[in-house]
Amino acid sequence: MNFSFFLIQLLNGMQYGLLLFLVASGLTLVFGIMGIINLAHGSFYMVGAYLAWWLAGMTGSLTAAILLGIPLTVILGMSLEWLLMRRLYGRDHLYQVLLTYGLILVLEETRSILWGDDVYGLKVPDMLNQSIALTENLSYPVYRLFISGVCLLLAAGLYVLIKHTRLGMMIRAGASNREMAQSLGINIKLVYTLVFALGVALAAFAGMINAPVSSVYPSMGNPVLIICFVIVVIGGIGSVKGAMAASILIGMADTFGQVLVPEVSGMIVYLLMAGLLVWRPEGLFSRI
């Protein structure tokens, strides 16, 4: 493996890891703050991708599609929280698993009814549809760098939100003690709704922005969900920091694995998880 090849894989792995982080952070936040395991989280990734395709088809622009799509997914998230999720707080994880599994079926089938079961492609916006020269004889797609950049920005934004804003403070307060936060006048119900909507939006946005690269196809959310579960287990539930570390780790391992040991690259993620279970079952940065 020569340097330029290594560099490409490094960038790919970085991009993949950062994308996974967007999805995984939503999952770990929802669990860490509200105590809910949401199997349908991968479906939101799919919903984002299909929304992007549909809206881009109507408006002719991916950018417009994303700008329109995000508010829609926020509304979807808030509605689902109001309708279903809030009935799950404090209940046994078993029922959360069951309900969100049912939700997967509903979302998949609704998608099938609305948009069919075909695979769709999406064009990268023209402005970003070029390659940048990294070395003499190596160029790399700008759009992929763009994805990485956007994910990093969002990650930074998430950090600022949680550490330095009032909402973030309320989120952290709610995470540690719901009743106490409520008695301090914090509108916990609203915080929970917003956190859930944030999780949905992050996953959907990841689906949207990656759609040109991955294409849009049924059950595209499933592998993402499984990997996000592994990320959350490795990183530690409730820890955004852990989700970042684990996402990059897995992004790199998976990418390099695919080029170095393609026959078993799919196993790498699980082997990493198994290794962690032996060493530190509660996750790298667990808060619980």
Partner 1 sequence: MRPHRSADLFILLMFGLLALFPFAESTFYTQLLTKIMIMAIFAMSLDLLVGYTGLVSFGHAAYFGLAGYALVLMSPQYESVSLWWSLPAAMSVCALFALITGMLVLRTRGIYFIMVTLAFAQMVFFVFHDTKFGGGSDGIFIYAKPTLVIGGFELLNLEKLNHLFYLVLIFMAAVYFLLRRVLASTFGRALLGIKENEHRMSALGFPTFRYKLASYVLSGALGGLAGYLAAIQYGFVNPEILSWHHSGTVLMMVIMGGMGTLYGPMVGAFAFVLLQELLSDQSLLGQVAKHWQLAMGIFVILVALYLPRGLAGLLSRKAKAEAAADA
Residue closer to partner 1, measured from CB, 139 or 258? 258
Contact present, 215 and 120 (Cβ < 8 Å)? yes
Q: How far apart are CA 218 and CA 213, in angstroms?
A: 15
Least separation, in Å, of the C-beta of 25 and partner 1?
16
**What residues have CB less than 8 Å from 50, skipping those under 6 apart?**
111, 114, 115, 120, 207, 216
The smaller minimum CB distance to partner 1, of residues 5 and 95, is found at 95
Distance CA 128, CA 120 (A): 20
Cα angle: 7, vertex 254, 98; to 5 degrees? 145
Query: Closest Cα partner for 104 from 195, 208, 225, 22?
Result: 225
**Is 242 in contact with 286 (CB distance < 8 Å)?**
yes
CB of residue 133 to partner 1, shortest distance in Å: 35
Cβ closer to partner 1: 89 or 159? Answer: 89
Residues of this chain that bind partner 1 (CB under 8 A): 31, 37, 39, 84, 87, 93-99, 101-110, 112-113, 222, 226, 229-230, 232-233, 237, 263-264, 266-267, 269-270, 273-274, 277-278, 281-283
Rounded distance between C-alpha atoms, residue 59 and residue 36, angstroms? 36
CB of 258 to partner 1, least distance (A): 12
Nearer to partner 1, 15 or 100 (CB): 100
The least CB distance from residue 51 to partner 1, in Å, is 19
- Bridge partner list, 15: none
Would you state the structure tokens that stand for residue 260, as one six-digit string? Answer: 């170095």
At closest approach, how far in Å is the CB of 108 from partner 1? Answer: 7
| Relative orientation angle of helices 41-59 and 188-214, to the nearest 10 degrees | 60
Closer to partner 1 by CB, 50 or 205: give it.
Answer: 50
Least separation in angstroms between residue 88's CB and partner 1 is 8
Residue 102 or 121: the one with the smaller Cβ distance to partner 1 is: 102
What residue type is assigned to position 262 of the chain?
A: P
Written as one letter, the residue type at 124 is: V
